[in-house]
Copies of this chain bind each other. A is one copy, B any other.
């Protein structure tokens, strides 16, 4: 599992905003895209990055594609960050 991909994904503010949206509720790709002032294709690219990182998942739903936050992977990232400080000892 590539933690690196998740952190790279989190490095972009638009992607963090997308995650914030998805944390509230699942959304179709178009619903997400229309909330940003950039091209749909660009948002699609961001969604791809988030998906590759495992931070979001998607399912086709008829003519739309629904995205949702993958809380498991997301929490992994949070847990890693917390362990860095809480640890004090050796741990991956």
Contacts and interface: CB of A to CB of B under 8 A. Distances in A.
Interface of A: 4, 7-8, 10-11, 13, 16, 19-20, 23-24, 69, 71, 74-75, 77-78, 81-82, 84-85, 87-89
Copies in the complex: 2
A23 B87 contact: yes
B13 A11 contact: no
A4 B13 contact: yes
12 contacts: A7-B10, A8-B11, A10-B10, A11-B11, A16-B84, A23-B84, A23-B85, A23-B88, A24-B88, A77-B81, A78-B82, A78-B85
A71 B88 CA distance: 13
A69 B86 CA distance: 13
Nearest to A78: B81
Nearest to A12: B7
A11 B20 contact: no
Contacts of A69: 85
